[in-house]
Amino acid sequence: MTTLFALLYAFVFVIGVWFLPSSIWGLLIMISITIGMILFQYAISPLIVGWLYRIDWIPYEEFASQYPHLAESLDKVVAYNGIKMPRLGIVHDLNPNAFTFGWSKNSARVVLTDGILHYLNKKEQNAVFSHELGHVVHSDFILMTVVFAIPLLLLTVARWAYYASLFSRSSRSDSDEASYLRLALIAVAVLSYVSYYLSYLISLIISRIREYYADEHSAEVLQDPNALATGLVKIAYGLLVDGNVEERKKSRVRGLRGLGIFDPSTAKGLGIISVGTTQTLSMEAIQKAAAWDLYNPWAKYFQMFSTHPLPAKRIMRLNMLCEIYGIQPEIDFSDAKRLKEEQAGKSMWDEFLWDMFMKALPTLVFIALLGLTIVWIFDLAGFYNIAFLAPVYANMWLVWAIGFYIIGFMSILKTMYMYKGGFEDKTVVDLVTKVKVSPVRTIPAFLEGKIVGRGIPGYVFSEDMFFQDNTGLMYVDYRFGIGIVDLIFSLRTVKRLIGQNVRIKGWYRRGPSPYIQVDTIWSESGTRHRNYARAFRYVWVVIAFILGVVCIYFWFQG
C-alpha cells in the first residue's frame, strides 16, 4: 500500500514539475496536490487494510462471550473515554501480533491474531489489547497522519525547488536576476532536504513516544505493567515468562507499521523457551535476548529508523512504572551486561564498524572512483600538474576498468561474508540468545519444525512465513527481491506450506529482532523450495566485470 501511494505521488509530482512553471504558484499547486494525496490516503487506507488483510470481524456480543476478560477492559475503556465501540476482528494466523486502524477513535478497528490468543496468557492478552485501545483513545490515527505529513510536504518543497532551478537554467537567461533566482532555489532545495530528513527522524521519535503512551495506557487499565512486559518478551523475543503454573501445565510451548503492538517491517521474528520438565523461568535466556537491544550498536542504528521502541527499552520503562503501582518488576535485566560480555566482550563497536565497512565495501569503491573522476573533469586541485598523477588522468577509462573489477571482487567478498558456509543443526532458542549477530554477521543454520503462519499475519501478499520448532518461533525471510517472484511465491506456495513440517537451511540474522533468511526449504510433502537471493547477488558482479570490459574497449579506442 505504501509503495502504491509512493508511485502515485511520484507520477503526480513529475507531471506537475513538467507542466508547472518555476513560480510560487507552481509551488502552491504542488503543495496542494501533496496535501490532497495525504488526505486521500488517510481516507482510503482503512478500506485498503480491510481488503488486503483477511480479518474475521466479530460482533461485540460474540466477542464478549468468547473473550470476557478482554470485553471487561474494552467496556471500561469505552465508558471512561466516552468513545464508540471499536470494531473487533481476529486474524487466523499463529504469528502473534495485534494492530489497530481507522479514521478516528470513534471509527476504530482493533485486531488480534490467533497467535496472541494461543501463546499469551489471559492477563497478557488483556495487556496487548489495552495497548491497542490506547492508540484508539489517544487519537493516534489523526496525530500520526499529521506528523508524517510534515516531512512529505518538506520533500515536496525540496523537489520543486530543485527542478525549478533546473527549469530556470534551461531558460538560458544570463541576467543577474536569473542567477540570483537559481541560487535562491538551490538554497531552498538544500535547506528543505535537510529539514525533510530531520523532520522524518523527529516523526519517528514521536511515533516511538506514542508507543510508550500506549504502553502506559495498558498498565493503567490493568493496574499492572508486568502483564505487558511479559507479553512483550513473548512477542518480541518469545522467551517464557509465565507465573501461572497451572496454565503452563496445559501447554507444551509458551511463548503494520505504525499502530501495531510490534512493527512488522522490523520485527523479524521471535523465539520462545519450551516449558520443559522443571516448569522454571529462564531469566538468563531473557537477558541474553534483550542484551542485543541494550548493548549491540546495531540496535541503536535500527531504533533511529523505527516506528517502535526496541522491546528491551519498553520493558525497562514498564519496570519503572511498577513503582507507581507498588509491585515488583517480573523482568530483570540486571545481569544482561555480564552475559553480553561473556559472548562478545566489553565493546561491540569494532565489530559494528567492520560490519558497516563490509556492507558498504563496493559502494565505497564506486564513490572513490566517482570522486576521482569529478576531480579529473574539473581539475579541482590542480592535479594535472602533479607528475605521478598525470598517467592516471591520461587513462581514466583504464582507471574505471580497474575500478569496476575491484567493485566486482569486493562484491564477491561481501557476499561471502554475509552468506557464510558451515551449516549446523540449531534450535530457535540456540539462535535467539546470541548477541554477536547482525544483519551482516550471520550464523548458518538448519532448523526443523513447522510453518505456522505468514510473516505478516493476515496479509495475502506476504511471501515471508512464521516457523515453529520444539523450542520456539521465528520469522522466516523468503524475500527474493524481485517483486513478481515474491508475489508468485506468496500466492502459490505460502498457503500450501502453512501447517507442514519443514527443514530450513538458511542464515540467521538479527536486526532488530531475530529472523532466518532462507536458502532452501524442504517440506514433508516432498517439495523443495530454493531462494536464489544469494546467487542473484553475483549478477551485480557479472555486470561490474562487463562494464570493466567496456571501459577497456574505450581505453583502447582512445
Q: What is the pLDDT of residues 508-544, one digit of tens each?
A: 999 878 899 999 999 999 899 999 889 999 999 999 9
The count of domains in the chain is 1
Residue 37: the pLDDT is: 84
Give residue 530's domain range: 349-434+437-558
Q: Quick check: 504 pLDDT over 80?
A: yes
* Cell numbers placing 294: 541494550
Higher-confidence position of 120 and 272: 120
Contacts of 54 (CB under 8 A, 6+ apart): 91, 92, 458, 460
Number of CB atoms found within 10 A of residue 112's CB: 26
The whole-number pLDDT of residue 5 equals 59
Residue 293 covered by a domain: no
What is the DSSP secondary structure assignment for residue 523, as one 8-state letter?
E
First and final C-alpha spacing in the chain: 50
What are φ and ψ of residue 522, in 5° steps?
-105, 125
Task: Look up the CATH number of the domain holding residue 442.
Answer: 2.40.50.140
Dihedral angle of Cα 76, 81, 86, 88, to the nearest 10 degrees? -30
**CA separation (Å) from 264 to 311, 374, 534?**
13, 42, 23
Which pLDDT belongs to residue 379?
A: 61
Point out which residues pair with 443 in neighbouring strands. 508
- Band of pLDDT at residue 3, cut at 50, 70 and 90: low
Q: Is residue 428 part of a domain?
A: yes
23-27, 157-161, 184-188, 497-501: least confidently modelled range: 23-27
Q: Which residues pair with 445 in a beta bridge?
A: 424, 506
pLDDT bucket at 72, cuts 50 / 70 / 90: very high
Residue 173: the pLDDT is 53
Buried b (16+ CB within 10 A) or exposed e, 81-98: eebeebbbbbbebbbbbb
132 given a catalytic annotation: yes
What pLDDT sits at residue 442? 95
Is residue 555 within 8 A of residue 392, CB to CB? The reply is no
pLDDT digits (tens, 9 = 90+) for 6-49: 666 666 666 555 555 556 666 777 788 888 888 888 888 888 88
Q: How far is CA 119 from the centre of its chain?
A: 23
- Single-letter amino acid code for the residue at 78: V
Burial annotation 26-38 (CB, 10 A radius, 16+ → b, else e): bbeebeebbeebb
Q: Containing H/E element for 552?
A: helix 533-557
CA 519 to chain centre: 21
Q: How many residues does the chain have?
A: 558
Residue 307 has pLDDT above 80, yes or no: yes
The least confident of 101-105, 268-272, 293-297, 503-507 is 268-272
Whether 111 maps to a domain, the answer reads no
Lookup: cell for 233:
518478551
352's CB contacts (< 8 A; 6+ apart) are 296, 297, 298, 301, 438
CA dihedral 140, 143, 147, 152 (to 10 degrees): 100
Residue 339 lies in a domain: no
> Of 22, 17, 34, which Cα lies nearest the Cα of 154?
34
Whether residue 242 is predicted with pLDDT greater than 90 in this model: the reply is: no
How large is the average pLDDT for residues 454-461? 88
Q: State residue 102 phi and psi, 5-degree precision.
A: 150, -170
Beta carbons within 8 Å of 244's beta carbon, 6+ residues apart: 121
356 in any annotated domain: yes
Q: Is the pLDDT of residue 181 over 70?
A: yes
Mean pLDDT of 450-460: 90
Kindly state the average pLDDT of the residues 170-181.
61
Q: Which residue has the higher pLDDT, 396 or 322?
A: 322
Residue 86, helix vs strand vs coil: coil
The verdict on residue 421 lying in a domain is: yes
Contact partners, residue 522, CB within 8 Å, separation at least 6 = 502, 503, 504, 528
State residue 246's pLDDT score.
35
In this prediction, residue 112 has a pLDDT band, given cuts at 50, 70 and 90, of: very high
What amino acid occupies position 376? W
| pLDDT tens digits along 356-407 | 999 999 999 999 888 878 777 766 555 555 555 555 556 778 888 999 999 9
Q: 238: pLDDT confidence band, cut at 50, 70 and 90?
A: low
Range scoring the smallest mean pLDDT among 28-32, 207-211, 447-451: 28-32
Q: Identify each DSSP E strand in 44-96 by its residue range.
A: 56-58, 87-91
Q: Residue 13 has what pLDDT?
A: 62
Q: What is the mean pLDDT of residues 68-96?
A: 93
Asked if the structure places residue 296 within a domain, the reply is: no
The pLDDT assigned to 280 comes to 38
Q: Which three cell numbers stand for residue 172?
A: 538560458
Is there a domain that residue 334 lies in? no
The answer to whether the beta carbons of residues 525 and 503 sit under 8 Å apart is: no
In the predicted model, what is the mean pLDDT of the chain? 83
Residue 73: its pLDDT value, please?
94
Cα dihedral 284/438/313/143 (nearest 10): -150
pTM attached to this predicted model: 0.83
Position of cell 564498524? 353
- Considering 62, 72, 124, 132, which one is annotated as catalytic? 132
What is the per-residue pLDDT for 244? 39
* Confidence band of 169 (pLDDT split at 50, 70, 90): low
- Concatenate the DSSP letters of all residues of 124-171 into one string: HHHHHHHHHHHHHHTTHHHHHHHHHHHHHHHHHHHHHHHHHHHHHHHT
